[in-house]
Structure 1
Amino acid sequence: MRFFAFLLLHLLSFSTVSAEESLPPIYDHDAFGNEKSGSLSDLIAAARDGKRIRVQYRSENGDFLWVRECNHVAVEVDKSVTCFVFLIPDTQLSAYGLEFMSPLYYEHQIFRTTGAYSGVKFSVENGNEISRETAQPRAVTWFAH
């Protein structure tokens, strides 16, 4: 159980960005995939060159700004980029800091430069799917390093 808790905390550490790791965004789009700044072709080139891709987005209610490292990136024939984020433990902020939700589950998230977002939640106890969601489209800022 301690190893599992260590693994979850280790995975959480990938969602934080230190000052020395901060990079200028390579591409930024609104919730409908319309370019706000940067260049989609630069993001596609970076993904094809094997650069690490990171996404930044706000929670649905806008209260939190999240930064996630993409575990896998797919490029669709010079049209769009898809970021897959795996094994995110579900947490909440409390008076004691970050706490794991109960029942404990983790989420896989998918972000697309078209603005589309989807997520699937799985139970840690038995591995069963708890829920599948296609949330409102999301504005996302993309980084490559």
Structure 2
Amino acid sequence: MAEVVKMPKMSDTMTEGVLAKWHKKVGDAVKSGDVLAEVETDKATMDFESFQDGTLLYIGIDEGASVPVDTVIAVIGKEGEDYQAALDADGGSAPAAEADKKEEKPAAAKEEKPTAEAKPTEDKKPAATAAKVDTSNIPAT
């Protein structure tokens, strides 16, 4: 069965990566250890090697695209195999399919009102006075 290839997490701080360059194209034979692509992280550009043998059946993102870690970027399997079954088994997480899904709107931020009277701290009073700042209009934080 074909297997999905996901954007790897190449560092502890990596949350997304940019696929800088594909080294293989659809239809190319791939062996474990072959460089599939170059991935840019927040710190460096690194080679991303295949962990599977087979044929590159599907490329899900274009060069230069930035995607979150664990996003499906490709499918490797036997030549002529249906890659859609692998995408469906993985939850159909092809980036193009996700773009069609309805985007959720973030909840509106509620304005918090201070519960106590706002007063500058003792170390800030001289600076506020010297700058002629009216601190009575400054909300508490």
TM-score (norm 2): 0.24
| Larger of the two Rg values belongs to structure | 2
Structure possessing the higher relative contact order (Cα contacts under 8 Å, 6 or more residues apart): 1
